[in-house]
A = this chain, B = another copy of it.
Amino acid sequence: MKISINELARMINGSIEGDGERSVEKFAPIEEADEKSLSFISNLKYGHYLYTTKAAAVLVSRDFTPDKPTDVVLIHVDDVYTTMSNLLEQFSKSQNTKKGIEQPSYIASTAEIGKDVYIGAFAYIGENARIGDRVMIYPQSYIGDNAVVDNDTIIYAGVKIYSGTEIGKGCILHSGCILGSDGFGFAPQEDGSYKKIPQTGKVIVRDNVEIGANTTIDRATIKATIIESGVKLDNLIQVAHNVEIGENTAIAAQAGISGSTKLGKNIAIGGQVGIVGHITIADGAQIGAQSGVSKTITEKNSKWFGSPAIDYKNAIKGQVIFKKLPELYTRIQALEKAIKNSDARQKDE
């Protein structure tokens, strides 16, 4: 990506202060930029870098005025952060242009492969698997028999997708995530051993879902573990069998959802949260980091915190008082003594 500042400014509807003939080739944070870099100031706290940066051009807001002269070309835009984010998006798309089928890779003869795909070396596509158009499957990924990966989905290196899993359009699956492993289901036997309950269901992932590195999603016992459209899962999350996660719910790293629990839409779940099995969480609920949710949540958009999770405000109050427990203990002892003395005095009278 090499582009003149004039051309760039036209693209983003920016007005130039300085020499628009120069060109930029890449992005860089303002303190690390070199003479080929475009940078930005969205927070005035970092404004002073403008006088030391080597950047060729810097995005600033419409009303930004430098305190003193600078050699850097300024490009004034309406919303620096959004403009930068959009440019980064285009840039990262333009970077991700891999196409074709690297060798050696393994594609079963019965697999269907769409147009303009990328299939990296050492990737494996099983029997009757269906791979949509423009899908990118990075090296060392595994797509089991009968699995489906729909159009424009990106599967990074080393993802493992068990047989029968269905993945929608425009998803991003990060390295090491596992979809469709057996649910943790065992019937205790009289001798103390466990008999495996066959896990013959599957995993269904709808459109525009992002799944983080090393996250695991187990297949259902009979039906399907379902991740609805727009769900965002961070790294190292556990999603057990038969779970359903509603649209646009976001879950932070290392959280775990136990078997058969149903999460509604637009829920936000913090890191390291644990949710027990066989419960329901209402749409829009927010669960603070490290909480443990042990009961169904029926109130929409409610906030929860703690282990076990209770109403957020009460949890915060409780934690404040928890810190005072040693002091409270002393105060209770003092009260007991005072009562004793008071009683004694009453008797004396």
Contacts and interface: CB of A to CB of B under 8 A. Distances in A.
Interface in A131-172: 138-140, 142, 144, 156-158, 160, 162, 172
Contact of A104 (B104, B120, B182): B104
Nearest to A40: B222
A256 B206 CA distance: 28
A214 to B, nearest CB: 5
| Copy count, this protein chain | 3
A3 interface: no
Contacts of A61: none
A289 B92 CA distance: 39
Contacts of A142: 138-140, 157-158, 175
Contacts of A290: 274, 292, 307
A196 B210 contact: yes
Contacts of A326: 314, 317-318, 321
B214 A216 contact: yes
Contact of A322 (B92, B102, B322): B322
B124 A192 contact: no
A75 interface: no
A174 B176 CA distance: 12
A272 B175 CA distance: 22
Contacts of A212: 181, 184, 216
Interface in A167-211: 172, 174-176, 178, 181-182, 184, 186-187, 192-194, 196-200, 208, 210
Contacts of A342: 339, 342-343, 346
A57 to B, nearest CB: 16
A27 interface: yes
Given A140-B142, A144-B157, A253-B184, A88 B321 contact: no
